[in-house]
Amino acid sequence: MQIKVKTPAKINLTLEITGKRPDGFHNIRSVMQMINLYDILTININRQDRFKINLSGNNTNIPYDDKNIVYKAIVAFTDYTHLKDYRFDIYIDKHIFTEAGLAGGSSNAAGTLLALNELFETSLTSEELHKIASTLGSDLNVILMGGCTLAEGRGEKVTPVTFREYPVSLIKPNNLGISAKEGYQKYSSLKDKPQNNYTDKVINALKNNEDIKPFLYNDLETAVFKDYNILQKIKSKNPKSIMSGSGSTYFVLDNTINNVENCTVVNGLKTINTGCDFIE
């Protein structure tokens, strides 16, 4: 059995942190938006007498073992469905920047859950898939929802938001990835934590067909910005740009972004009102 699935990147139109949780995570309110930049997963499944996962791909920056979230998604799915006597061969054709705040890994994992549900004809409900996804990471439920989504809690509570198509361009420092752990730790150390309520402002602007650009905002950008000269250069050349997630990718809702030395630019993308999708 084989299936191919394309898994989209996301950007954070807003990311506001509302407090620390007892489990060590932070509660957030974030409007996340899918864009038409995709990884492609080719998944082959064969029946055999023992469980095995073989991951491979075209990007040397990601692990192809049990540390990969795709691997973890397969384990979570097969634990839930008791489908263990199979070999899983997955090739990850990576186009989304890694360590970039674009949820590339989470998107791969969400696409894997959807693909396995389709291949095995297990007919898991959306609620069941979201339940599995919530055990794997903070962005998977957003990817499963697709389109434009309000994420709350640690990201697992998702609500559809009014969608509007915008052009999108990205700029990513070539030699800088910022982990979510670093971003949240630096936010925690801020003495004066911003409280702007931009998330509701973006939601209302989308609903009323008003301009959302004045309300784009990211608390984690505030937390890490002063520590990285390259981020300051990006912002200087692109004053309307905003960091996505924990970074280090910046985006503008425009057709072009001004380049900065030692950065990679992707122009001409757009927001989309879908999520993962199967390829015939």
Task: Supply 119's token pair.
Answer: 């291949």
Per-residue pLDDT of 169-203, as tens digits, reads: 999 999 999 988 899 899 988 888 878 899 999 99
| Domain parsing of the chain, residue ranges | 1-280
Task: Supply 20's token pair.
Answer: 């620390």
Helix (H) or strand (E) holding 240: none
Q: Which of 174, 176, 251, 254 is nearest to 217 (CA)?
A: 251
Per-residue pLDDT of 129-163, as tens digits, reads: 999 999 998 899 999 999 999 999 989 999 999 99
Helices (H), 135-248: 140-145, 180-188, 198-207, 219-224, 229-237
Q: Which of 39, 72, 94, 139 is catalytic?
A: 139
pLDDT of residue 231: 97
* Domain topology for 1-280: Ribosomal Protein S5; domain 2 (3.30.230)
What is the residue-averaged pLDDT of the chain?
95
Phi, psi (deg, nearest 5) at residue 255: -75, -20
- pTM equals 0.94
Is 10 annotated as catalytic? yes
Is 20 annotated as catalytic? no
Is residue 71 predicted with pLDDT exceeding 80?
yes
Per-residue pLDDT of 72-123, as tens digits, reads: 999 999 999 999 899 999 999 999 999 999 999 999 999 999 999 999 999 9
Q: Which of 10, 94, 186, 201 is catalytic?
A: 10
Helix (H) or strand (E) holding 268: strand 263-270
Task: Supply 36's token pair.
Answer: 């038409």
Q: Half-sphere exposure of 122 toward its Cβ, with a 13 Å CA cutoff?
A: 19
The edge-to-edge listing of strands for the beta sheet with 167-173 is 242-243, 250-252, 167-173, 263-270
Task: Supply 117's token pair.
Answer: 């549900």
Per-residue pLDDT of 77-91, as tens digits, reads: 999 999 989 999 999
User: What number is the average pLDDT over the span 273-279?
Assistant: 96
